[in-house]
Structure 1
Amino acid sequence: MRRLSDLTAFAEVARAGGFRDAAIRSAYSASTLSDAVRRLEEQLGVRLLNRTTRSVTLTEAGERLLERLEPALAEVGASLDAVNAFRDRPAGRLRLNVPGGVARLVLPHILPAFSAVYPDIRIEVTVDESFVDVLAAGCDAGIRYDERLEQDMIALPIGPARQRFALGAAPAYLAAKGVPKHPNDLLDHACLEGRFTSGRKLIWELERDGEVIRLEPKGPLLAQIGGGTELLVQAAIGGMGVVALFEDWLQPHFESGALSPVLTDWWPEFSGPFLYYPGRRNVPPPLRAFVDFIKSDSRARWPGPRR
């Protein structure tokens, strides 16, 4: 059991890229994790991590160990979770990997009600804009949009069935710069840009009556999607330019008057997010409970996009 604990500590540090971040994500202190990794290295007789004052990286031996260790730890977790089937109600951890928009717009409507029904399930959410292998990331399931799902995954709609991509700007900005009448008018406006963690910029895709126009926005501010998304919104409220985001994210600011809708006839509609998880192994009881909850209770509470 001590060796298994040390292996788990090593995997936590490797995933987090450092002892301090791993300590934040786990129930252990940074010193406890460091002791566990050092003990494991001494037992194996090889260095697994390169440590400097500024970074922690995997050695080649560490990379090889982590590659084989991740699925093994996932199976150990699944085996322990299987015991929950003998409890009166499921218990354990439910680990979800989701993008920032889902964390802000979808999960707050679902998790409180789910937790009230299953108080013995601890929910751990990792916010990540990139598509990840949920098992390799140490998660049970992910939530993404359909264009980013792998074919070998089981996918279940979660949250709103349909969403829209909306544009807005501060009334003072529009009074000074003019109101765009056509998407091409945005080429003469300050557009607030978003960039994914991969480095790829968000392309604005607008549609009306079957006509699709794709624009690469240009403007005075570029922020990373996820952690910097709210900065784009607040910059737009401050009159810095036009912002494009989920309609539900901007709707409170439309209602307050802080932002005015722009080019509403061109807002594209798309399918909502999906909960996805691997179908090649037994589903852990906490995830099974969440899947059943979504199927039975959640989708009916979501209205369609506003008109």
Structure 2
Amino acid sequence: MAVDLDDVRVFAAVARAGGFREASRTSRTSASSASEAVRRLEGELGVRLLHRTTRSVAPTEAGARLLERLGPALAEIAAALDVVKSTSEKPAGTLRLNVPVVAARLVLPRILPPFLAAYPDIRVEVTADDKLVDILAAGCDAGIRYEETLEKDMIAVPIGQREQRLALAASGAYLERHGRPTHPRKLLDHACLRGRFPSGALCPWEFERDGEVVKVDPTGPLVGSLGNATDLLVDAAIAGTGLVYWFEDWLRPHLESGALKPVLERWWSRLSGPFLYYPSRRHMPAALRAFVDFIRAGSK
């Protein structure tokens, strides 16, 4: 069976992008050429790999199985080629990261500008996604997650601040109308704006002071998905709708401006910072190696 590796790469790009036109932007080919490459591959394999409609493209069952196995294989090929290329050149290529929205907002802005300035031949693509994904199947080189969600077989490197705080805040107008809670349990009598994880679970409200941990499950008029609706929760808090509980650094501009007031500050909980994680590979892509070295050097 004479299968063209370029056709395989194009199929993976189309399946991940959900369309030929979208894939053409990353696979350096036209939409018509991408379509022909997939047809050629289907002909060689004797099986349909994609469902095609006028509006969307999605993998068939066989296509999904192939895509799942292709992710690690294509990543290893790209890494091996990068290793050879990097022996005679400065680190170059594309580094693909899958990170939660909070990392895209609070961690990467402090790291990527100096990294890109130091390595002008490297291009970084960031996907901000709060869902837990298989980074290899998603076509990414590495991801950022917190320790409790790290996969055990991954290499993990600390990235960004090593300690973060979760802050509780409300507008001055809300506090004037409803009073200031004096203990976390008093939050059960207040309007609380809750965030929901992609899993469907509500973000826990947990507070700590002098070794005492208090968990509460308050209710309120608004629930938003964490990540893409977090700013909605913050804006609602600023407007006086209720109390918001989220990363201190995310709320800091509003705390400094006075739009939000700190509440129960001595109870704000702390958590360890995030990690960059990636699979153990015989061949690490040159761009990823440069990024890992850059992060490690910055943490010393």
Equivalent pair of 2:3/2:44 in contact (CA under 8 Å):
no
User: How far does residue 28 in structure 1 lie from its aligned partner after superposition?
Assistant: 5.1
Code of the aligned partner of 1:201: L
1:60, distance to aligned residue in structure 2 (A): 1.9
CA distance in 2, matches of 1:216, 1:15: 38
Show structure 1 runs of 4+ deviating over 6 A: none
Instruction: Give the residue type in structure 2 aligned to 1:200.
Output: A
CA deviation digits over 1:34-74, x for unaligned, max 9?
Answer: 34323322333321122335543322211222132222211
* Identity, % of aligned positions: 64
- Give the direction of change, closer, same or farther, for the CA distance of 1:68–1:53 in structure 2 (3 Å limit): same
Counterpart residue identity of residue 95, structure 1: R
1:214 match: 215
- Deviation, 1:242, is 0.8
Unaligned runs of 5+ in 2: none
Equivalent residue for 1:276?
Answer: 277
The structure-2 alpha-carbon separation of the partners of 1:28 and 1:127, relative to structure 1 and needing over 3 Å to count, comes to farther
SS in 2 for 1:82: helix
Aligned CA distance change for structure 1 residues 208 and 139 (closer, same or farther; 3 Å): same
Unaligned runs of 5+ in 1: 301-307
What RMSD in Å do the two structures reach over aligned CA positions? 2.1
- Secondary structure at the aligned position of 1:101 is classed as helix
Cα shift at 1:9: 2.1
Partner of residue 143, structure 1: 144
Deviation sequence 1:159-189 (CA, Å, 0-9, x none): 0011001111111111111111111111111
Question: Is residue 8 of structure 1 aligned with residue 9 of structure 2?
Answer: yes
Q: Residue type of the partner of 1:210?
A: G
**Aligned residue identity for 2:52:** R
- Equivalent residues of 1:101, 1:226 under 8 A apart: yes
Q: How does 1:192-211 map to 2 (within 5 A)?
A: 192-211=193-212
Q: Is the 8 A contact 2:191 2:242 kept in 1?
A: yes
Q: Deviations over 1:186-243 (max 9, x none)?
A: 1111111111222222111111112212223421112111111111111111111111
1:139 deviation in Å? 1.0
Normalised to the residue count of structure 2, the TM-score between the two structures is 0.92
Preserved CA contact (<8 Å) 1:143 1:273? yes
Tell whether the 8 Å contact from 1:141 to 1:275 is kept in structure 2 after alignment: yes
Give yes or no for contact 1:203–1:217 (8 Å, CA) kept in 2.
Answer: no
Aligned pair 1:67/2:68, yes or no?
Answer: yes
CA shift, 1:282, in A, is 2.4
The answer (yes or no) to whether the contact 1:192–1:220 under 8 Å persists in 2 is yes
Partner of 2:109: 108
Query: Does the CA contact (< 8 Å) of 1:195 and 1:201 recur in 2?
Result: yes
Q: Deviations over 1:102-152 (max 9, x none)?
A: 101110101110111100011111111122222121111111111111222
Q: How many equivalent residue pairs?
A: 299
Query: Equivalent residue for 2:238?
Result: 237
Residue type of the partner of 1:100?
A: V
Q: Which amino acid aligns with 1:167?
A: L
Give the match for residue 48 of structure 2: 47
